[in-house]
Structure 1
Amino acid sequence: MGTAIGTVLPLAVGVAISPIPIIAAILMLLTPQAGRTATSFAVGWVLGIAAAFAVFVVLADALGLGGGSGGSAAGTTIKVLLGVALLGLAVKQWRGRPAPGEEAAMPGWLQAIDKVTPGKAVGLGFALAAVNPKNLLMIVGAAVAVAQLDVSGATIVVTGIVFTVLAGCTVAVPVIAYFAARERATAWLQELKAWLVANNAAVMAVLLLVIGVVMISKALTAG
């Protein structure tokens, strides 16, 4: 079990350090419906991670990507391709970073975040977790890595829970902090949002580069 958890840990951290979902959660916490929308968003985010991990673990097993020679080779190839895709995203993020003194561009939907209802917040959180290309690549990588270990069903479940908790914590923590100490948390959330907006592209570029290199090197070493 320790091996399985250790295998998915870097990828869980990669999903967790996602500036845009964190910014979205913070913006929701600064709206009149802070409690309802931000909580719904966090629930959708966690459910999206859990659902995507579960689906791709099942698919990896169905495709025979286990520890056998054929499955191991296919799994290794998939992980190398995922790593290369992450490196490509890293380059794209780095090239898209704002120039010094230039204001960072954010997705247009963030401008209307104060109009998001709790129901839509759940869907938005789910989509950002399970459909976002960066997160999807890492979740698929984690699922394939676990499938290759040929571990028991119980180990897969526990690993999935740990992966989901770690990957989802960065969106959940601001929500918890807001309810625990609303006045103090508001100022801290404003500062965190400003930093994330300014450094989103650079943070993502470095993160994707590191995770991509780690994924490729582990795949080739195991292969």
Structure 2
Amino acid sequence: MSTLFVVFRPDDVKVYHELKFSGTPFMEGRKVNSIYVMSAESAYVDKVKKNETAVLWHERLGHVGYHKLKVMINNEMLKGLPKLEVNVDNVCSGCQYGKAHQLPYEDSKYRAEEPLQLIHSDVFGPVFGCRYMVTFIDDYSRYVWVYFMKEKSEALQKFKEFKNKAECDLQTKVRCLRTDNGGEYTSNEFAEYLKESKIRRQLTCPHTPQQNGVAERKNRRKSNQ
């Protein structure tokens, strides 16, 4: 990049390619109060106009299709849009990436063989009437326990309430808890309680809610009601 020379004067500022002040400045601005303000037109707009392409306008207009961009140019539908050659066969990598679909996950073939063998849990909110809700879903029967919370930190207390009630009603023990990696589940206090209760923990991989799909789908239905 070439060296530029900035000259501050009492009322304005000018930028030159060389120290020859008789020529036209590369950029210029004026002094407003105690601040020198560069001209946006000379600093940006004029230079951008020299490098305008159909690809650049495609991106400026929110990745509009090249067919539509060509129609807009031919019909002069947008003020300031220059006459450009548009190749309708252009492929934009950003458009391809944004429109790509993730392949579906295979349905899990595992199903608990008895109540409380595997519990799915998830916290969601805020919801109407309270801040958060936590659900506990039995994998065997798909029975759902729902608890309301003011703070996510109450998740451990609600799990204890669920565990005591479910084990008393069903006369069996909770053996495994499957959750995401939310801080309400990964605290040292929660981990220690599960260890003391001899409950196995299953944490999903980061950014993979599909692995906790039973709880995620249940909460989505509740939030849509």
Q: More strand per residue: 1 or 2?
A: 2
- Normalized against structure 2, the TM-score is what? 0.19
- Normalized against structure 1, the TM-score is what? 0.19
